[in-house]
Amino acid sequence: MKRFLLAVAAVAALALPATASAHPLGNFTVNRFSRIEVAGPHVYIHYALDLAEIPTFQAGKIDVDAYARRIAHGAVLRVNGRRALLVPIETALAHPPGAGGLRTTRLEVILSGPRLAGRSGVTYRDRNYADRIGWKEILVGNAPSRSHELRAYPKDLLHAPLDVTLVRTSLVPGTVPGTRPHVTRGSTLQAPDRVADSRFASLVARRHLGAWVILASLAAALFWGAAHALSPGHGKTIITAYLVGRRGTPRHAALLGLIVTATHTVGVFALGMVTLLLARFIVPEQLYPWLNLVSGLLVVAIGFTVLRARWRHRAHHHHQHEHDLSRRSLIAVGISGGLLPCPSALVVLLAAISLHRVGFGLLLIVAFSAGLALSITGIGLVAVLARGAFRRLSFERGVVALLPALSALVILGAGIAMTVHAIPKVR
């Protein structure tokens, strides 16, 4: 009994918010800030770079001078139409803690620009990390920063971050010598304003891994996977419509859960391998729109198959043919539900590699995926039982008789919506 109580206490402790922090804009983001300033007759650019956990993991050990030169090359300043030389003259680097024991990165660089002869037309374009998602902000002079120079992002813009990469202005040289900008030092450089760590990602960073802590961690991962499945996505509507429309059984619901678990787990491992081995060629977050598109097209195909089967299913001899279609489309439904891996699961995998706890990380991911599948299986069972209850009612020839065709239309409509939503983001 005492051991049981200890295990319950451990699970409760793991379920509490962790003290670590995670990047508020997401684990994939690369965020950029530039401030154009004039000190005396000279132009300066105060540049800040904020890398979330996954880009920081990919970067490995950062060569500050090499990064400063890269930033200077990608920051294009034109004065009266002619490109000006920007030279790094000061740098500062910090690695604030992130999710799952991973680090984030804050790099500041002061770029020295040209001397102004008089009022000059200036165009500035930030071409750094153009292929990465994240916050992009450029200011002139003392204008206030909406992100406090990448230290505190406004909560109302976390899902639609600022995207400014070009400004045009006119600058006038100062009449007296001015103080040029300097990089931030000390605790301010650590960018402390973070959101709470992902509770799932925090599991892998636990210091002591006794047997009971591991079991409690797996139980917590199972719980967070089940909770994650209840958030938007993972094809709950599609799975429900499918099981209702194809006269699904509890066995079908369980099989769907198994397929979702396998697909989600394999997806996390595959994306982890891309992050580790193909980072120079493939940006991991750019795979998510493609996965969304594939999932949408898959759902469209499922909807079309179900609708066609309903249309053709008029004679008794079609039963076996429909059953074969059902098996294939059941697998496709399960794959579409688990195809998009959770970013937190990828963070757990990378954190496990970083902390040399690969086996523990893999167990956590499998437990998380199993929790995800349990929720989806539960939703499927509710749909199956609800359909059985409706069939016992007297209006079988009414609404219930139309359910197969209606469910096929729901699946088809959801697939079209997913596809249309994914296409603009694919590049």
The reply to whether 16 falls in a domain is no
The reply to whether 8 falls in a domain is no
Is residue 321 located within the same domain as residue 263?
A: yes
* pLDDT digit string, tens, across residues 185-234: 877 777 655 554 566 777 777 777 778 888 888 888 888 888 877 776 66
Tokens of 196: 């709470």
The reply to whether 380 falls in a domain is yes
The reply to whether 341 falls in a domain is yes
Residue 337 near residue 234 (C-beta atoms within 8 A)? yes
Is residue 230 located within the same domain as residue 168?
A: no
Q: Which residues, 6 or more positions from 111, have their beta carbon under 8 angstroms from its beta carbon?
A: 44, 45, 46, 47, 71, 72, 75, 86, 87, 88, 89
The kind and range of the H/E element at 309 are helix 287-312
Residue 108 near residue 114 (C-beta atoms within 8 A)? no
Is residue 331 located within the same domain as residue 214?
A: yes
Is residue 249 located within the same domain as residue 177?
A: no
Pairing of strands 82-84, 75-79: antiparallel
Under-50 pLDDT residues of the chain: 1-21, 196, 315-324, 394-396
Residue numbers of the domain that contains 230: 199-425
pLDDT at residue 112 in the model: 95
Is residue 188 located within the same domain as residue 216?
A: no
Is residue 214 located within the same domain as residue 192?
A: no
pLDDT at residue 246 in the model: 64
pLDDT at residue 394 in the model: 47
Q: Is 222 helix (H, G, I), strand (E, B) or coil?
A: helix
Is residue 339 located within the same domain as residue 310?
A: yes
The reply to whether 13 falls in a domain is no
- Where in 67-182 does DSSP place strands (E)? 75-79, 82-84, 87-94, 105-115, 120-126, 136-140, 166-171
Q: Residue-wise over 401-411: b if at least 16 C-beta within 10 A, else e? A: eebbebbbbbb
The reply to whether 192 falls in a domain is yes
CA 65 to chain centre: 30
Whole-number Å distance between alpha carbons of 305 and 292: 20
Is residue 122 located within the same domain as residue 29?
A: yes
